[in-house]
Each structure stands twice: as C-alpha cells, then as structure tokens.
Structure 1
Amino acid sequence: MPQTSPIVVVLTALAVEYDAVRAHLDDEVEELVHEDGTRVECGRLAGTDWRLALAELGEGAVNASALTAQILGWLRPQAVLFVGVAGSLKDDVAIGDVVIGTKVYAVQGGKLTPEGFHARPEVWHGSNRLVQAARSALRGLDGVRGHLKPIACGDVVLTDEKSAFAEFIHRTYNDSNAIEMEGAGAVHAAHVSGQVEALVIRGISDRANPGKAEADQGGSQERAAARAAEVAMAVLRKHRPRGGTGGSAAPEESARYGGDHIDFRGGVFNGPVIGKRVDRNE
C-alpha cells in the first residue's frame, strides 16, 4: 500500500481570499481539474502532514454547496475550511479581527404569514476538533484578535445596519458576530457527506454598513483575507490528521477515489482522479 498524505480542502469565494491562502503553500503546487471543470491547486503546508487542496468557488451559498459537494466527493479530504472575509455584526468585532464559526446559520429560511415572517433557522456547528484547534492556535498568534462565535450566512450583501434585514438578523440571530454569503452552503455539503470535519474562518473587512465601499477601497479586504488565511494555517498546524502522523493516514481515512489511493509522494499526484493534471501555466 503506497504512503498517502492526508488532504484538507480550503475553499474561498473571491480571488483576494484565494491568493491569501495560496501564499502559505510550498513552491511545488500542482493544478488538478475535475472532468466537470472545477479546478484546485494542491500543495503541502510546511510543518504539517497536510496536503492542502485550494479552490476558488465564486460567491453565494448555493454555488458553494454544489461545488463543495463535488470537491469532497472527488478528493475525499479529512477536513474542509471555508476561509475569507465577512462583515461585522457587533460593535466589539473590529475590522481586522477574525471570527471562527462555532455555529453557522442559514438565515433566509422561514414562513411568511398574515401575522408576519416566522424564521425557520438552520444551523450547523463547527467541528469540535477544529474549534479546539482554533482555540489553541489563537493563543499563539501575536497581534491577532479572534472570536469563536456564530456566523450568519445569507445571499445578501449587507451595507445598511438599520435596514429591515439587519434588524431581522439582530432579532433572530442575535449571537451572530459576522455575516457572509457562502459558509452555510459549504458546511451543509460537509454535513451531508457524513465524513468531513468543517470550519468557517472569516476576517472582518467591513462593518456591514454604508462604509463598506470605502473600507474595501482602502484595502480592508486584502488585510482581512490575509488575517483569515494566517489563522486558518495556524489551525491546521494544530489540527492532527486522523490515523496518526508521519504523512500516512489510516486506510479508512485516506483520500480515495474508485478504491485507490490519492498518492502525493514526492509532491507528485500519482492517484486516479476524475479529470486530469494540468500545468499551472496552462
């Protein structure tokens, strides 16, 4: 049986988020293409046993859910992180802080009646193993202000903290510290898979108010994405693959497709995939 590297998938929505994570990978990065066109770049995270598969999915929870499910079925990772930027919902959560989702709410489900709108919340909890790794990681990160708190997710870009939607979030999901668009879709796909630990990590780039555009123009997204990526990599350095160390996962936890192993010996992808390897410059 070949030695295999345990895989963790890191998902992003925006190019700025993708670039922030990719900066942490080693120089031997390889692009893989699913037969349906989805692309990931694979590289090793230095100082860990993890082989990291990085994808940029685009915006929106529905898109995130569909592509996450496809990637999880393709690569069979042990864990999935969604890493990116978000708006703050709390006065004490500042631009540049990082919110790690102990819970992720899908906020738009409900029933509209003559008496008004009645929310029907859906919620997914962050993996306990990953949340515990995050608590430990934050203690060792100088200058990083992290919050292990719930995150609200909806297909709405919130730029008015006094709007009816903002009031609905405050009233119904009062413990949420940040709002974003993709996390619920990704963690739902991980939950349905039944095998994958999941966590959402968001750097705060704005306060979900009319100042969002000005903050974005001032480079807040780049800084928030970099901080979220820094925290995500620190979490993975704390999080241990199942099946032991030494670069080999237990057979039932190894990345598989079609009964074979995905083998990354020497930085080369030797296992079978749906799709093909491509040159990064293609």
Structure 2
Amino acid sequence: MPTVAILTALSLEYEAVLAHLTDVEKLTEPRYGTKAKRGRLPGTPWRVALVDMGEGTLTAAAITTHVLSWLDPEAVLLVGVAGGLKDDIEIGDVVVATKVYAIHGGKQTPDGFLARPEAWRASYRLMEAAKEALRGRAHFKPIAVGDVVLADADSELAQRIRTSFNDAVAIEMESSGVAHAVHLAGEAGALIIRGISDKADADKSRADAGGSQPQAAANAARAAVAVLRELEPKPTAPQPRDSDPREGPFRSSTDAPTYGGDHIDFRGSTFPGPFTAKSVGQPPHGDGQ
C-alpha cells in the first residue's frame, strides 16, 4: 500500500490523528532511532506513518528529512494547531496553507527591519485534493512561521507580520522546516493543515486552558483524513514484460540477438579461472585433430 507521512509537533495533535488509524504497528528508524506508528486509514488506499517530531523549525526540518529517506512517502502532511491572525478566523476553524512564510529573514537597519522572507507553496496535487475535500469547510490562505509563540497582538512582531506578511491568517512554529525539507527532497509534496486554537493575543493562555487546543487538533485531524479520502495514489509506471535489465528497461528479450551453432553467450558472466568449452555428443570436425 502507498504511504503518506503525517507529522505533528504536540502529543495532543499526534493522538488526534492516531484515533483515525487501524492495524497500527510501531516502527523505529535504524540509524537515528526516530519512532513512528504506521496504520491503515479505513476507506482509503493509504497507509499512514505518524511521527511526533517535536516543536520548532529546525527540529521539523531534520525529522522530515529522516522520514523522507526512511519511509519514502508519496506525500507529507503537517497536522496540528496554530494561532489565528485575522478577525474572521475563529477558534476551531481549519486553515490549509496555500503558502508558508518564514518570517525571521531580513535586515535590521537604522530605518527599521527590512523583511527578506522565504516562502514555499503547497503541492498543487495535494491542494487540489484538499479543495475538493474541504470546500466550504476550511480557509485556504497563507500562514506565517517562526520560532516564537505569539501571545501579544500589539507587539512589534505582530505589527511586522501585519505589514510584511499581510495575507497570512495564522502563525505557528514548524511548517517552514517541513516545507523546506520536502522541497529539497524533490519527490513527495507537502500540505500544512492547522486548526486554530487561539488568536495569538493576550488571551492565548485562557483559550488553551478552556480546551481549545484538543478541539483544534481534532478538527485538523478530521480535515487531513478528508483530504486523504480524496487523494489518489500516484500511478505506477508499467514494466515491460520479459525485459532484460542488461539491455535497458524498454528492450524485450525478443529484441536480443540470437546465436546458433557453437556460439556461447557470455554476456553478464564472470569466471574465476580459464574456461574450456567441450562439445558433447557431436562428431569431430575435419580429421579429428
């Protein structure tokens, strides 16, 4: 079965996704010891490899790289919670990131901070599946990412985001690391799905204490499942019948040269010493010498 990797940063996000899987097995990456649980997603052709990678962009990039080389997933989904940045983004809403901004790149000058952001776009294939699965049930907007918990809507950072990343509707701490690692690998696509657990303001602690994080994580997990129910695995390239690997993937054995008489085909053969061919049951040639 084809594999999708789902990454989370918090245990409550991990548990929200795990609740949707069946036939779960434990996996350990042999070199670095990265742990995963892999299970089936009922009603889909997918196996899901679930990894609790921890918080922060650097950790996210490193663990994503491990997962890509270890499990070779067709797609990588980052599923979890985020803080909302817009008045029309409510606690409990789901945001699917069309674009991921790394907000801390820039130049500090006497005239202020000049943003020099990096940005990664979502996989077109995954975004098409998400739009079909979540139409009318999620916001498809950019998000901002930095190694910071934003809990002050009046701070200098909040103002900078409003000025330099005005279309970002949420902020969190891992997506840029995941998106960059997937971009460098060049095979799997990435999709970021976030449930809004607070408004990135002074009321963040109150919202968290009221149970907003588990609810937001559950909403994001349900959205991820809906996307995977819509997403189809990539088609497998057909292999030629009776192909000879020494002749290339598209050469049939019927195209190979044929030999008769006393010719012997030594292609691909190795011999530890001298080789002597002897005719068995055939009359000698000439005078028998």
Q: Secondary structure at the match of 1:150?
A: strand
* Letter aligned with residue 163 of structure 1: S
2:113 matched to 1:117?
yes
The equivalent of 2:18 in structure 1 is: 22
CA RMSD of aligned residues (A): 1.3
Q: How do 1:23-38 and structure 2 match up within 5 A?
A: 23-26=19-22, 28-35=23-30, 36-38=32-34
The equivalent of 1:6 in structure 2 is: 2
**CA positional deviation for 1:116:** 2.1
The equivalent of 1:273 in structure 2 is: none
The equivalent of 2:126 in structure 1 is: 130
The equivalent of 1:85 in structure 2 is: 81
2-side partners of 1:188 and 1:40: how far apart? 21
* Letter aligned with residue 131 of structure 2: R
Q: Deviations over 1:151-210 (max 9, x none)?
A: 100001000000000000010000001000001100110000000111000000000001
The equivalent of 2:177 in structure 1 is: 185
1-side partners of 2:35 and 2:216: how far apart? 24
Q: Secondary structure at the match of 2:80?
A: strand
Question: Is the 8 Å Cα contact of residues 61 and 183 (structure 1) preserved in structure 2?
Answer: yes
1-side partners of 2:42 and 2:237: how far apart? 21
- Normalising by structure 1, what TM-score? 0.82
**CA positional deviation for 1:251:** 7.9
2-side partners of 1:145 and 1:209: how far apart? 24
Pair 76,54 (structure 1): closer, same or farther in 2 beyond 3 Å: same
* Letter aligned with residue 157 of structure 2: F
2:157 matched to 1:161?
no
* Letter aligned with residue 39 of structure 2: G
1-side partners of 2:110 and 2:201: how far apart? 30
The equivalent of 2:279 in structure 1 is: none
The equivalent of 1:150 in structure 2 is: 142
The equivalent of 1:232 in structure 2 is: 224
The equivalent of 2:272 in structure 1 is: none
Question: Is the 8 Å Cα contact of residues 6 and 51 (structure 1) preserved in structure 2?
Answer: yes
Pair 24,121 (structure 1): closer, same or farther in 2 beyond 3 Å: same
* Letter aligned with residue 31 of structure 1: K
* Letter aligned with residue 29 of structure 1: V
Paired residues, number: 238
**CA positional deviation for 1:145:** 3.7
Higher RCO (Cα < 8 Å, 6 or more apart): 1
* Letter aligned with residue 230 of structure 1: R
Question: Is the 8 Å Cα contact of residues 242 and 250 (structure 1) preserved in structure 2?
Answer: no
* Letter aligned with residue 160 of structure 1: D
Larger Rg: 1 or 2?
2
1-side partners of 2:146 and 2:25: how far apart? 33
Pair 52,250 (structure 1): closer, same or farther in 2 beyond 3 Å: farther
Pair 251,157 (structure 1): closer, same or farther in 2 beyond 3 Å: farther
Q: Secondary structure at the match of 1:29?
A: strand
Pair 42,115 (structure 1): closer, same or farther in 2 beyond 3 Å: same
The equivalent of 2:40 in structure 1 is: 44
The equivalent of 1:218 in structure 2 is: 210
1-side partners of 2:46 and 2:3: how far apart? 6
The equivalent of 2:95 in structure 1 is: 99
Q: Deviations over 1:228-260 (max 9, x none)?
A: 0000010011011101xxxxx5589xxxxxxxx
Q: Secondary structure at the match of 1:105?
A: strand
Identity in percent: 57
1-side partners of 2:53 and 2:202: how far apart? 26
2-side partners of 1:114 and 1:158: how far apart? 25
Question: Is the 8 Å Cα contact of residues 84 and 202 (structure 1) preserved in structure 2?
Answer: yes
